[in-house]
Amino acid sequence: MTATEPAPVLAPTPRLAARARAVGGSPVRDILAVTARPEVINFAGGLPAPELFDADGIAEAYRAVFAETPARALQYSTTEGEPALRAALAARTAARGLPTTPDDLLVTTGSQQALSLLATALLEPGDTVLVESPCYLAALQAFSLAGARVVAVPGDERGLDPDALDALVARERPALLYTVPTFQNPTGRTLPAARRAAVAEVAARRGLWIVEDDPYGELRYEGERVPWIAAHPGAADRTVLLGSLSKVMAPGLRLGWLRAPAELRRACAVAKQAADLHTPTVNQLAAARYLADHDLDAHVRRVAAVYGARRDAMLAGLPAALPDGSTWTRPEGGMFLWARLPEPYDTTALLPGVVRHDVAYVPGAPFHAADPDRATMRLCFVTQTPDEIAEGLRRLGTGLRDHGRS
Residue ranges in contact with ligand PLP by CB under 6 A: 46, 110-112, 136, 180, 185, 213, 215, 244, 246, 251, 256
CB of 205 to ligand PLP, least distance (A): 26
Answer for the pair 289, 312: CB distance below 8 angstroms, yes or no.
Answer: no
Instruction: Return the number of the residue (46 or 162) whose C-beta is nearest ligand PLP.
Output: 46
Listed residue (194, 192, 154) closest to 171, CA to CA: 154
Picking from 106, 96, 112, 68, the residue whose alpha carbon sits closest to that of residue 286 is 68
- Closest distance to ligand PLP from the beta carbon of 187 (Å): 11
C-beta of 226: minimal distance to ligand PLP in Å?
Answer: 16
128 or 244: CB nearest ligand PLP: 244
Query: Which candidate, 194, 204, 127, 128, places its Cα nearest to that of 161?
Result: 194
41-42 and 359-360: which strand pairing?
parallel
Q: How far is the CB of 138 from ligand PLP (least distance, A)?
A: 6
Q: Provide CB contacts within 8 A for 296, sequence distance 6+.
A: 92, 248, 249, 290
Closer to ligand PLP by CB, 158 or 173: give it: 158
If the CB atoms of residues 110 and 155 are measured against ligand PLP, the closer one turns out to be: 110
Nearer to ligand PLP, 375 or 382 (CB): 382
CB–CB of 165/205 below 8 Å?
A: no
Closest approach, Cβ 47 to ligand PLP, in A, equals 9
* Distance, CA of 185 to CA of 340 (rounded, Å): 15
Closest distance between ligand PLP and the C-beta of residue 249, in Å? 10
Residue 306's Cβ-count burial label (10 Å; 0-12, 13-18, 19+) is middle
User: Is the Cβ–Cβ distance between 43 and 364 less than 8 Å?
Assistant: no
**Helices vs strands, H then E, count in the chain:** 14, 15
Cβ at position 116, least distance to ligand PLP in Å:
10
Q: Which is nearer to ligand PLP, 185 or 329 (CB)?
A: 185
For 359, list phi and psi in degrees, rounded to 5. -145, 150
| Residue 260: closest CA among 244, 240, 243, 242 | 240
Q: Nearest distance from residue 173's CB to ligand PLP, in Å?
A: 25
Q: Which residue is nearest to ligand PLP (CB)?
A: 110
Closest CB to ligand PLP among 162 and 215?
A: 215
* Residues across the chain: 406
First vs last Cα of the chain: how many Å apart? 57
CB of 357 to ligand PLP, least distance (A): 26
Contact criterion met (CB below 8 Å) for 216 and 183: yes
Instruction: Specify the residue, 180 or 393, whose C-beta has the smaller distance to ligand PLP.
Output: 180
Nearer to ligand PLP, 114 or 204 (CB): 114
Q: How far is the CB of 255 from ligand PLP (least distance, A)?
A: 7
Task: Report which of 360, 355, 327 is spatially closest to residue 342, judged by C-alpha positions.
Answer: 327
User: What is the rounded distance in angstroms from the CA atom of residue 215 to the CA atom of residue 204?
Assistant: 24
Angle 284-268-92 from CA coordinates, rounded to 5°: 45
With respect to ligand PLP, which residue has the nearer C-beta, 50 or 319?
Answer: 50
